[in-house]
Amino acid sequence: MGFPEGFMWGGASSAYQIEGAYKADGKGLNVWDVYTHQPGHVKHFENGDVACDHYNKYKEDVALFKELGIKCYRFSINWPRILPNGVGEVNEAGIKFYSDLIDELIKAGIEPVVSLYHWEYPHELFKKGAWLNPESPLWFEEYVKVVVDAFSDRVKYWMTINEPQCVVGCDYMTGSHAPFMKHERCDLILMVHNVLLSHGRAVKYIREHAKQPGKIGIVPTAPVFVPKDNSKEAIEEARAKTFDMRNAGLFSVSLWSDPIFLGKYPEECKEFFGDSMITPSKEDMDLISQELDFYSCTIYYSSSTPVPDNVQYKENEYQGDPRTTINWVVHEDVMYWMCKFMYERYKKPIFVAENGMANMDWVSLDGKVHDPQRIDFTHRYLLQMKKAIDEGVPALGYIHWSVMDNFEWAHGYSQRFGLIYVDYATQKRTIKDSGYWYREVIENNGGNL
């Protein structure tokens, strides 16, 4: 048997990672546009100025997506391409680009799934304090209003914020993502709350003003612990560790999901943030915890408690373990336990927004791209998702990251996640073996796995 009828098989990208055209047609700058031009942040001093040139090649790309057979395409909208200053004047050329892209997808029979925010924060608003500014949720709402008014006649599926853990944790705690800053916890909890309020304002606007009923989610990443064995005790231990925010801190599941789905911050926040922990108003929590249609997340590998580097293996590692080229452990069981744990806690159908692997890909002498490891990886993870579905976990879809090779943030162009190979020197695209394999999976609705 295959996956549920109507299951949404998809591919994903994000604006900064593929679009390029970073100053074209009235677009404003985002923090990645600015800070990748400063040395020391990105491998080989690379940036997304051109990336995959999707801005100019979107019709060719959508034709390839159609050839892949994907049912939906998740993409983000580059905030300052729509509002160059983050608020105020609307850039009609930006509206036209995304409108044309949406039309092209629909013509190809592909459902557009819009991520409202995938880290393209307007630099003009960053200069005003970004997520630390109490006005930031209103700024986000103004942007969302423009997007929803323009595209909701054709867009039904909305993801508000991609990996909010990274929005605050990588951007402002570890400093590994633009704007590459490190703030104290007293700042971080304010940013967390403003990001959640921004999500809430987006949901409220879509519900009240979209031109057709929307299906809405947010996309946290899921640091899930996997049980040591199938004993009841091991499963309970893994579940408890997954939702105890002290294990993952700012990157935890519960910090970002409990306020939305349970209407409250986890108790451990008081310990983690100390005296800086806020006391949110009922009005704030009501805004944050509006009903969503599914639990969406990104999932790549299992989580572990921290151990000193080069001293011992983490609990999800072992000597000679399988790893992708980005050094992430291959542990397909995490897909099953993510589906189980998230559904049990949050009571929403699961929609996997990202899953995939970085691989050592190149064009072979026969002109093809052979990537058997990606096929095996995806096969393993999909089997685990199917196992959870067969045991009663409702699921709406699976979106492969990524639909094409792209700029991988601080790694630059050194990591290839795509189903489509991109030669960055020539911008030539080549569907990989994994892309054709994925097409067969979609054609059979997973029945051939």
Per-residue pLDDT tens for 316-372? 888 999 999 999 999 999 999 999 999 999 999 999 999 999 999 999 999 999 999
In this prediction, residue 51 carries a pLDDT of 98
Residues ≥6 apart with Cβ < 8 Å to 392? none
pLDDT confidence bin for 103, thresholds 50/70/90: very high
Beta pairing class for 420-423 and 428-431:
antiparallel
Residues recognised as catalytic? 163, 354
Report the alpha-carbon angle 418-111-200, nearest 5: 95
pLDDT above 80 for 308: no
pLDDT above 90 for 398: yes
Question: Which helix (H) or strand (E) is 400 found in, with range?
Answer: strand 395-401
Question: Residue type for 70, please?
Answer: I
- Average pLDDT (416-438) is 98
In this prediction, residue 293 carries a pLDDT of 98
- Average pLDDT (237-246) is 95
**Nearest by Cα to 252 from 188, 325, 179:** 188
Using DSSP's 3-state secondary structure scheme, residue 76 falls into: strand
Q: Is the pTM value of this prediction over 0.95? A: yes
In this prediction, residue 2 carries a pLDDT of 87
In this prediction, residue 315 carries a pLDDT of 81
In this prediction, residue 212 carries a pLDDT of 97
Q: DSSP readout, 138-179? A: HHHHHHHHHHHHHHTTT--EEEEEE-HHHHHIIIIIS--STT
pLDDT confidence bin for 251, thresholds 50/70/90: very high
- Average pLDDT (406-433) is 98
Helices (H), 157-215: 164-168, 185-209
DSSP structure class, residue 122: B
Average pLDDT, the chain: 97
- Tell the residue number behind the tokens 């209103």, with chain if given: 138
